[in-house]
Amino acid sequence: MFDFTLTSERPIAAGMYVNGQWLSRGPASAAIEVENPANEDVVATITEGTETDAGEALDAARRAFAPWAGRPAIERGRLIAALADEIDAHKDHLARLVTLEQGKPLGHATQEIDAGITFLRYAAENARRIEGDIVTSDNRDEEIHIRRHPYGVVVGLTAWNYPFALAARKLGPALVAGNTFVLLSHEATPLSGLALASLSEKAGLPAGVFNVVTGRGPVVGAALVQSPMSDLVTMTGSTRAGREIYRAGADAIKVVRLELGGKAPFLVMEDADIDRAVQAAVAARYTNCGQICTCNERMYLHRAIADEFLEKFVAASKALTLGDPLENADLGPKVNRVERDKVADIVASAVGAGAAVLLKGGIREDGAFSKGHWFAPTVLEASKNDNPAVQDEVFGPVATAVRVDDYDMAVRFANDTPFGLSAYLFTRDHKRLAQAPYRLKFGELYLNRSNGEAVQGFHTGWGLSGLGGEDGRYGFDGYLRKQTAYLNWG
Ligand code: NAD
């Protein structure tokens, strides 16, 4: 059992969940401290898993596979729905846990738990939608049947920015499809995955169907990817790690699905509803302290409205509160010191390359911020599209604006990136809106609205932003492989 209430005065020690058992490796095993990013207190210690632990978890998942896949899908769906109910019943504790390990404001952490519940309930509904095709044959007395089967053992690797929702997003469809699962919960935010395991136990998932290991990606994660016992790897994280994982899976020709970084352009044209665009741009930049793959990472503003937009945007950025996430400030801390400093480094190189500072937020270490990893909203204006703040993913509360002469220039600048996750466009011109899907080379478009994908949509990155996609029917289909049978009765 893992006590996800985190109400103990002292840091709790959390083991791994393998084959329905909580493994406590004892004091001899290496441990990783989980830090509250708001005050640097240690909230828990987790086991630093090894290659052997990865092997044990995969072995458990492999042994659980045949009986799990052999159950009617509706039974698997009922268990996933039961897991969603358990989460719902413990929502307050889970939201607090996410805030304590990741740093997002409590209200937003509650939204994250709700998102996890939605992913699981939607997955459960798909239990009746595993379908095949019967195709006309060229031969007499023959039919071609295309069936869908689970892959076997799925490995899930998740990012720290939405540790609970990202795990649930992968787990639900993978299990309903009939696969079993081994999750490596990111070492910076491992407790959410362990809480999910705890609740899966309460919900009655059979031993071995869902296993959670903890430790470092390049060690335990790499072992999970390289092992011949895993059949599909689904990873959400950085493009850097995605490349390593893709390479590591290559020898075994492993199915690898990658949801990676983004660099979303935010286009505001001369005919846009400016107030609406500002509100959306603020939400899309600063929610979760700017740590969302679909965040507004660079704003292309038509010259005719740039001054008005920036005046309102800077004022709104300045008005945001930075503070205790348990007290629901607008922005909590960055997840850790390394991530905070990465953002500061990008700002320094952007300014070095000529960006003007419109709002100097930056690192805060004064007074109430002396402990924790605080970074205040910062607004830059760049004159060139090759400025580092315009090209590199910032993943923090730094907004960068670039003025453009017209829509064509905005589209050209927007597409000038190897990333292709999401893009925003604000305009009242219906021709531009209708053409945007043909002109913007991104997997997800937000036209006259802020971010936030729907469970029935398809969250997919192009280019360096990934390979695969999640949610909706295409996301579910990703956990099923196809088989063709030629059935001749002549
Ligand atoms: P990360 O790349 O550090 O880690 C992601 C996962 O991969 C973790 O579980 C980690 O342990 C594992 N891992 C790392 N190296 C590995 C290796 N060599 N072998 C096996 N496993 C390994 O990711 P992060 O820094 O937590 O995430 C931030 C990034 O995630 C940002 O770039 C963000 O844009 C992206 N992201 C993308 C999406 C999306 O849906 N496209 C969603 C959220 C976050």
Q: What is the pLDDT of residue 26?
A: 59
Q: What is the DSSP letter of 206?
A: P
- In the chain, where are the structural domains located? 12-260+465-485, 264-454
pLDDT, one tens digit per residue, over 401-440 is 999 999 999 999 999 999 999 999 999 999 999 999 999 9
Alpha-carbon distances, residue 309 vs 272, 280, 300 (angstroms): 10, 12, 11
Q: What is the pLDDT of residue 11?
A: 85
Residue 53 near residue 183, CB atoms below 8 Å: no
Instruction: Give me the DSSP letters along 11-40.
Output: PEEE-EEETTEEE---TTS-EEEEE-TTT-
Distance CA 203, CA 175 (A): 14
Mean pLDDT by 10 residues, the chain (490 residues): 84 93 75 96 94 97 98 98 98 98 98 98 98 97 98 98 98 98 97 98 98 97 97 98 97 96 98 98 98 98 98 98 97 98 98 98 97 98 97 98 98 98 98 98 98 97 97 98 97
Distance CA 94, CA 257 (A): 27
Residue 238 near residue 262, CB atoms below 8 Å: no
Q: What is the pLDDT of residue 10?
A: 82
Q: Would residue 293 show up in a list of annotated catalytic residues for this protein? A: yes
Nearest partner of 113 among 136, 84, 145, 138, judged by Cα = 84
Q: What is the DSSP letter of 327?
A: G
Q: What is the pLDDT of residue 13?
A: 87
**Side chain identity at residue 265, one-letter code:** P
For the domain covering 264-454, report its CATH number.
3.40.309.10
Distance CA 287, CA 304 (A): 28
Rg (CA), the chain: 23
pLDDT, one tens digit per residue, over 230-273 is 999 999 999 999 999 999 999 999 999 999 999 999 999 999 99
- Residue 253: helix, strand or coil by DSSP? coil
Residue 88, CA atoms < 13 Å, CB-side half-sphere: 11
Q: Would residue 259 show up in a list of annotated catalytic residues for this protein? A: yes
Distance CA 413, CA 135 (A): 45
**Side chain identity at residue 288, one-letter code:** N
Structure tokens that stand for 433 in this block: 């809106």
Residue 269, CA atoms < 13 Å, CB-side half-sphere: 21
**Which protein residue has the closest C-alpha to ligand 1 atom 4?**
237
12-260+465-485 homologous superfamily: Aldehyde Dehydrogenase; Chain A, domain 1 (3.40.605.10)
Q: Which residues fall within 8 angstroms of residue 351, CB to CB, at 6 or more apart?
A: 357, 380
Q: What is the pLDDT of residue 25?
A: 67
With a Cβ cut-off of 6 Å, ligand 1 is lined by: 157-161, 184, 186-187, 217-218, 221-222, 225, 235-238, 241, 244-245, 248, 259-262, 293, 393, 395, 421, 459, 461, 465-466
């209200």: which residue's tokens?
107
Residue 23 near residue 194, CB atoms below 8 Å: no
Nearest partner of 343 among 291, 395, 303, judged by Cα = 395
> Which of 32, 164, 230, 260 gets mutated to test ligand 1 (max ligand atoms within 8 A of its CB)?
260
